[in-house]
């Protein structure tokens, strides 16, 4: 249940899966192993904080093992019940800054493919490459967070990994450009052929919710909305300020939406769009971090 053990397990499953993928004849085996490798990498990160974070809350014996009290019971660690892979993904997403560059729906597609092989012995050969890319995109930032070298994990499959990510980057760029063009078309239809900057200024932008931050839309140039997770973080202060540090509320975005031209972007498209991966907000960190007084009244 140690983090290093789980990370090493993820490497073994991925290496064996890549070997099968390279043969081209055992893609079901490969897809199954990609899913297991991604799950073990996610749980390796959680275990690096504390092993109990990967144990099901209802498994008391497993929790005893995770907290170093396994000698009190007769059951072995192998019988411990862990949290589901999707739950591990969501927990890691709350710990990583920036979050994982994969939507939970995409990860669940990989899990469904893995389970299809495990329980039914079936898989879609055409989706094998996409599932491998999904596993790579999940595992890479986890390796960084765990301090595991890329060369150590990928070994002689590093070039294959790089080539797959480059192919995805090319496809992503084309998809992004298509989104921007479509957003501009929507705006042109909405405002007519004589679109000018003054027309944009008159459009209703709506309210920015508490879980959003403003950002300029790369398609129409008006104020769009970044959505994601806020964290209260220690920040370095500038030279004119007193003291060495301060606290700030920082947004790590997961997506962008423009209410004017309807452009929607995921975090993996932010670099293409020139959108920030993190935003230091104007929120008061002390007010943001203050507990809800009702939680005490309800006790």
CA distance 256 to 216: 10
Residue 167 lies in a domain: no
Pick from 256, 235, 249: nearest CA to 280 = 249
Pick from 128, 94, 91, 118: nearest CA to 17 = 128
Domain limits for position 202: 177-289
My answer on whether 108 and 27 are in the same domain is yes
Residue 166 lies in a domain: no
- Give the DSSP H or E segment for 28: helix 27-49
**SS3 category, 237:** coil
Supply the pTM of this predicted model: 0.80
Burial (0-12, 13-18, 19+ Cβ within 10 Å), 197: exposed
**Domain CATH for 24:** 1.20.120
The whole-angstrom distance between residue 44's C-alpha and the CA centroid of its chain comes to 15
**SS3 category, 41:** helix
Q: Do the Cβ atoms of 154 and 161 come closer than 8 Å?
A: yes
Structurally, the chain folds into a number of domains equal to 2
CA distance 248 to 231: 8
Last residue in a domain, options 110, 133, 148? 148
Residue 237 lies in a domain: yes
**How confident is the model over 138-184, as pLDDT tens digits?**
999 999 999 999 999 999 999 999 999 999 999 999 999 999 999 99
Residue 159 lies in a domain: no
Confidence of residue 87 (pLDDT cuts 50, 70, 90): very high
The whole-angstrom distance between residue 11's C-alpha and the CA centroid of its chain comes to 20
**How confident is the model over 269-287, as pLDDT tens digits?**
999 999 999 999 888 887 7
My answer on whether 43 and 93 are in the same domain is yes
Percent of the chain with pLDDT over 90: 54
My answer on whether 182 and 110 are in the same domain is no
Q: Is the peptide bond before 166 cis (omega within 30 degrees of 0)?
A: no
Phi, psi of 59 (to 5 degrees): -95, 90
Q: Which residue has the tokens 């939970």?
A: 104
């Amino acid at each position: 249940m140690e983090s290093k053990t789980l990370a090493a397990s993820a490497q073994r499953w991925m290496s064996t899966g890549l070997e099968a993928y390279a043969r081209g004849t055992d893609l079901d085996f490969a897809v199954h192993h990609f899913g297991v490798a991604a799950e073990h990498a996610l749980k390796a990160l959680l275990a690096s904080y504390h092993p109990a974070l990967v144990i099901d809350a209802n498994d008391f014996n497993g929790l005893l093992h995770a907290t170093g009290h396994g000698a009190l019971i007769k059951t072995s660690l192998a019988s411990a019940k862990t949290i589901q892979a999707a739950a591990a993904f969501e927990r890691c997403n709350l710990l990583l800054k920036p979050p994982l560059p994969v939507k939970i729906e995409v990860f669940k597609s990989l899990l469904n493919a893995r389970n299809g092989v495990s329980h039914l012995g079936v898989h879609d050969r055409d989706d094998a490459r996409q599932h491998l890319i999904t596993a790579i995109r999940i595992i890479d930032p986890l390796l960084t967070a765990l301090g595991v070298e890329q060369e150590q994990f990928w070994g002689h499959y590093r070039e294959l990994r790089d080539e797959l990510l480059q192919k995805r980057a090319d496809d992503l760029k084309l998809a992004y450009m298509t989104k921007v063009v479509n957003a501009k078309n929507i705006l042109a239809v909405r405002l007519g052929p004589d679109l000018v900057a003054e027309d944009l200024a008159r459009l209703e932008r709506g309210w920015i919710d508490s879980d959003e931050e403003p950002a300029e839309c790369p398609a129409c140039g008006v104020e769009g909305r970044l959505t994601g997770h806020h964290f209260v973080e220690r920040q370095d202060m500038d030279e004119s300020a007193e003291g060495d540090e301060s606290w700030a509320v920082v947004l790590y975005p997961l997506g962008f939406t423009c209410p004017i031209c309807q452009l929607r972007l995921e975090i993996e498209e932010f670099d293409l769009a020139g959108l920030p991966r993190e935003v230091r907000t104007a929120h008061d960190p002390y007010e943001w971090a203050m507990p809800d007084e009702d939680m005490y009244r309800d006790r």
